[in-house]
Amino acid sequence: MTPSKDVARTAAAFEYAPAPESNSIATIRPHVGLFIDGDFRDGSGRAFKTINPATEEVLSEVSEATEVDIDRAVKAARAAQRRWARLTGAERSKFLFRLARIIQERAREIAVLESIDNGKPIKESRDVDIPTAAAHFFYYAGWADKLEYSGHGPTPRPIGVCAAVIPWNFPFLMLAWKIAPALATGNTVVLKPAETTPLTALLFAEICQQADLPPGVVNIVTGAAATGAELVSHPGIDKIAFTGSTVVGRQIAKSVAGTDKSVTLELGGKAANIVFDDAPIDQAIEGIINGIFFNQGHVCCAGSRLLVQESVFEEVIDRLKRRMAILRVGDPLDKNTDIGAINSKSQLDKITELTESGLAEGADSWSPECTLPAKGYWFAPTVFTGVSQANRIAREEIFGPVLSVLTFRTPKEAVEKANNTPYGLSAGVWTEKGSRSLWMASQLRAGVVWSNTFNRFDPASPFGGYKESGYGREGGRHGLTAYLAPTHFTTSGSR
């Protein structure tokens, strides 16, 4: 059987009846305000709309925070910070455990709202994003009363008021990555979610009320880029925790130069997922699929450059295409959906433009036959072969369900090609030999190297990048460092 007939036959064998998750559990308010000092209030800017990218339906009108609102939020966070930091670690930890438990209790509601506002498949928000967010709160709740044993000196001190600015690809999870360690260490937070995905952050504000978190400890200000820029440049901010694009990360780094604000930047990536000829190929195929099609490829650490050893190239590509042919693209709320909607029209345009550049530069593209919904923003899973290292699709972050495949002959060549990128966030290695995995990990210039797996996250494990992927680590004990004031020891060991 030729591969294409085989692909068609496999696809036909897997017909699924619709299995939609009910959206009735999520309350979508027609208008939502800013969350400042424990209360919701209207912003002084022009309210904007957030839509469901799978249907283009308007979900809510959301307040825009301008300078005055940001000032109010930062002042509320400052006033709250003194009291919050004076609580014992055990007291703060009780609040964090409470937040974690409420997230678990309301997990289904948060997951549905996340999928509606973002477009991601419900099986991902339900099984990955929200449980991992709860796990981050549980994890940092455990640190709050043990900070003096965390390797940050005998009396670790918080930095103060943190500005957290997050992207749209993992709205609730990124919020957890920032807020949980900040609160555990005695800081307070003003968080700005992305313009296209503000709803679960505003639901988290309700959760803070439900947990009786003292007013001002967490503040949520909504808006677009101007609101983010206003927040990070406010003189009352002591620390900036940013996750987003390298372009904006660079602007933020420039804007704080010469101030005493501390900054961590979690930026873009163009990860190599490297398959050796001795790899367990079935597992590797699942890892490649998960690496690039999880969350529509809207993943900073996505395995967007597949490096395959030449001797298994044809086998890997054939099997990959067969697997891609049974990916289900469509309604994010359907429990069988593998690939949901692209988050916004502008992201869809960016993916389309980069994909066209791949064709123009001579690479070959392949997508399975799939009927995309008429309304909303969609992109079929795509694989490019015949890619050269100089092509834009091998260098730039596409941030969509598009995989570029390159080949290599020797481990040394794999390392050279993998490291030939301005980024350095993550990488994957598929091989039967543990010694080769370890050697590759020592050679790859990437913050995270997965071996025979991909896109695995654990709150105890630090995450972050090299080079243009940013600096600082989130998660684990390392993640505390970003939220604690630097410790200076004298030669006698006392401060």
CB under 8 Å to 458, separation ≥6 — which residues? Answer: 135, 475
Q: CB-wise, 272 or 341, nearer to Mg ion?
A: 341
Residues 381-420 that bind ligand NAP (CB under 6 A): 397, 399
Q: Which of 117, 124, 334, 474 binds Mg ion (CB under 5 A)?
A: 117
Q: Does 269 bind ligand NAP (CB under 6 A)?
A: yes
Q: CB-wise, 95 or 168, nearer to ligand NAP?
A: 168
In terms of DSSP bridges, do strands 188-192 and 218-220 run parallel, antiparallel, or are they unpaired?
Answer: parallel
Q: Which of 196, 222, 243, 391 binds Mg ion (CB under 5 A)?
A: 196
50 binds, among Mg ion, ligand NAP, none (CB under 5 to 8 A by kind): Mg ion
Which residue's CB atom is positioned nearest to ligand NAP?
228
Q: CB-wise, 25 or 58, nearer to Mg ion?
A: 58
Q: Which residues pair with 219 in a beta bridge?
A: 190
Cα–Cα distance between 379 and 372 in angstroms, integer?
8
Q: CB-wise, 73 or 211, nearer to ligand NAP?
A: 73
Q: Which of 36, 180, 182, 194 binds ligand NAP (CB under 6 A)?
A: 194
200 binds, among ligand NAP, Mg ion, none (CB under 5 to 8 A by kind): none
CA 250 to chain CA mean position, Å: 18
Residue 162 known to be catalytic:
no
Q: CB-wise, 195 or 338, nearer to ligand NAP?
A: 195
312 binds, among Mg ion, ligand NAP, none (CB under 5 to 8 A by kind): none
In terms of DSSP bridges, do strands 218-220 and 239-243 run parallel, antiparallel, or are they unpaired?
Answer: unpaired
Cα–Cα distance between 459 and 423 in angstroms, integer?
23
How many CB atoms are located within 10 Å of the residue 127 CB? 12
Helix segments in 1-106, DSSP class H: 3-13, 67-86, 89-105
**Angle at CA of residue 443, ends 442 and 447, nearest 5°:** 70
Give CA separation, 271 vs 1, 277, 411, 423, 445, in Å. Answer: 34, 19, 16, 8, 10
Residues 132-191 that bind ligand NAP (CB under 6 A): 165-169
Q: Which of 64, 124, 266, 338 binds ligand NAP (CB under 6 A)?
A: 266
Q: Which stretch binds Mg ion (CB under 5 A): 73-81, 112-120, 224-232, 294-302?
A: 112-120
Residues 272-331 that bind ligand NAP (CB under 6 A): 300
117 binds, among Mg ion, ligand NAP, none (CB under 5 to 8 A by kind): Mg ion
Q: Which of 191, 213, 248, 312 binds ligand NAP (CB under 6 A)?
A: 248
Q: Give least dist CB 194 to ligand NAP, A.
A: 4
Cα–Cα distance between 4 and 90 in angstroms, integer?
61
Q: Give least dist CB 313 to ligand NAP, A.
A: 28
With beta carbons less than 8 A apart as the criterion, state whether 252 and 242 touch: yes
Please identify which of the residues 208, 300, 468, 474 carries the catalytic annotation. 300
CB under 8 Å to 414, separation ≥6 — which residues? Answer: 272, 274, 276, 307, 309, 408, 440
Q: Give least dist CB 33 to ligand NAP, A.
A: 17
Q: Does 50 bind Mg ion (CB under 5 A)?
A: yes
Quick note: the x/- pattern for ligand NAP over 216-245, rule CB under 6 A, is --------xx--xx--x----------xxx
114 binds, among Mg ion, ligand NAP, none (CB under 5 to 8 A by kind): none
How many CB atoms are located within 10 Å of the residue 188 CB? 28
Q: Give least dist CB 119 to Mg ion, A.
A: 8
Cα–Cα distance between 343 and 119 in angstroms, integer?
6
Q: CB-wise, 232 or 288, nearer to ligand NAP?
A: 232
Q: How many Å from the N-terminal Cα to the C-terminal Cα in the chain?
A: 73
* H or E stretch covering 313: helix 313-324
230 binds, among Mg ion, ligand NAP, none (CB under 5 to 8 A by kind): none
Q: Give least dist CB 210 to ligand NAP, A.
A: 25
CA 129, 131, 132, 134 torsion-angle sign: positive
Please identify which of the residues 21, 114, 230, 266 carries the catalytic annotation. 266
Is 191 in a helix, a strand, or coil?
strand
Q: Give least dist CB 372 to ligand NAP, A.
A: 22
Cα–Cα distance between 390 and 383 in angstroms, integer?
17
With beta carbons less than 8 A apart as the criterion, state whether 241 and 482 touch: yes
For residue 370 the two structure tokens come to 């799939």
Q: CB-wise, 194 or 218, nearer to ligand NAP?
A: 194
Q: Which stretch binds ligand NAP (CB under 6 A): 111-119, 130-138, 266-274, 360-368?
A: 266-274
With beta carbons less than 8 A apart as the criterion, state whether 160 and 486 touch: no
Residue 300 known to be catalytic:
yes
Cα–Cα distance between 429 and 422 in angstroms, integer?
19
Residues composing the chain: 495
Q: Give least dist CB 116 to ligand NAP, A.
A: 18
Cα–Cα distance between 29 and 125 in angstroms, integer?
21
Half-sphere exposure in the Cβ direction for 120 (13 Å, CA): 30
Q: CB-wise, 54 or 231, nearer to ligand NAP?
A: 231
- Contacting residues toward Mg ion, per CB under 5 A: 50, 117, 196
- Contacting residues toward ligand NAP, per CB under 6 A: 165-169, 192, 194-195, 224-225, 228-229, 232, 243-245, 248, 251-252, 266-269, 300, 397, 399, 425, 465, 470
Provide the annotated active-site residues: 266, 300
